[in-house]
Amino acid sequence: MAEFTMELNDEQKEVRDWIHGFAADVIRPAAAEWDEREETPWPVIQEAAKIGLYSLDFYAQQFFDPTGLGIPMTMEELFWGDAGIALSIVGTGLAAVGVLANGTEEQIGTWVPQMYGDADDVKVAAFCSSEPDAGSDVASMRTRAVYDEAKDEWVLNGTKTWATNGGIAGVHVVVAVVDPELGSKGHASFIVPPNTPGLSQGQKFKKHGIRASHTAEVVLENVRVPGHCLLGGKEKLDERLARARERAKGGERVKNAAMATFEASRPAVGAMAVGTARAAYEEALEYARTREQFGRPIIDNQGVAFQLADMRTQIDAARLLVWRASWMAVAGKKFESAEGSMSKLFASETAKKVTAQAVQILGGNGFTREYPVERMHRDAAIYTIFEGTSEIQRLVIARTLSGMPIR
């Protein structure tokens, strides 16, 4: 187990600089165009694939970094480039993690490579969990999976929403209810292979921010998938459901595995927010240094200088919370005070605040699309919403501190 450190080693610095160079030279110049087009930036994803940045191997290396800093470092640099394009690049990882966490070795070896494709034939994947009536309240999920024993197939019906890459993905990972009486304990995850009949894209959302990232509904109408597409396999599922039923009979509260998984993954979202906040701060700082009013740079005005001081302080504090939680996760430290949710809460709120301050410092220019802080401010709004709203983060933290169960 690596000791916690705030100093990147030489290899990490080299990787960070490599990602930063790609973000500066490839992502940023394309950001405004793809934001306006509101389309998946396939050429940029392909460029990332060509250099190995969009690949399972790269993200696996960062995920298994013993310091825990590989993933947050990667996320910060990519999202410093542009949040919408960066989410298009990393969105497949949501589905890949779902398979890696729950699948068998055979399933991982079969499906995860198909999620990425290669530089000549880039693919994306989608993780489908949220529903129109079941966002934070996962126990209200309605999508059903029914086992057809005669054909060894699962039949899926329902509608998923807010799915990154939903409908345009080759491989979809779908969370569905297999035992409604067990609530969130009766869920299972399924692979829906490419071109499976019955799966279609529903509404594509026209969003306030992260517009280069495709977000849509996924409609499942009598979607039949082979039995081997149940992640983990049926034997493992039957055992898990049997344990849950026994505990339910005894009145025992069962730990919500999904909530525990979210708690461990939330620092990565915090790192995304840090990247966007840092980008806006740097734009505001440079503008304040060069913009003159009343015969001097506006940074000479205490009102502007103090804002920049607060912005930098909050960004650094957010990064430290993210790094601490990321290290704790990889080191197997228990989040006794919901440190994962703390990092996501503070970083996401910081991104919203810092980008708003950047717009204010740029004045009228900050309100136009001629300057990137306008886009950064729109993008930052998502961080307090997805993977658990700020209100949910506060609920998780409060219940953890009080000893109440997190359902």
Catalytic residues: 387
Q: Which of 371, 356, 373, 272 is nearest to 307 (CA)?
A: 356
In terms of Cα–Cα distance, which of 162, 161, 153 is closest to 192? 153
Residue partners of 344: CB distance under 8 A and separation at least 6: 266, 267, 269, 270, 273, 383, 387, 388, 393
Name the residue type at position 42: W
Phi, psi of 85 (to 5 degrees): -65, -40
- DSSP code, position 230: B
* Encoded tokens for 315: 């960004």
Among 331, 320, 314, which residue's Cα sits nearest to residue 277?
Answer: 314
Cα separation, 263 vs 241, in Å, equals 23
Cα–Cα dist 300/76, whole Å: 29
DSSP letters of 116-172? HEETTEE--EEEE--BTTBSS-GGG---EEEEETTTTEEEEEEEEEEEETTTT-SEE
**DSSP of 264-321:** HHHHHHHHHHHHHHHHHHHHHHHHHHH-EETTEEGGGSHHHHHHHHHHHHHHHHHHHH
Instruction: Work out the number of other CB atoms within 10 angstroms of the CB of residue 155.
Output: 17
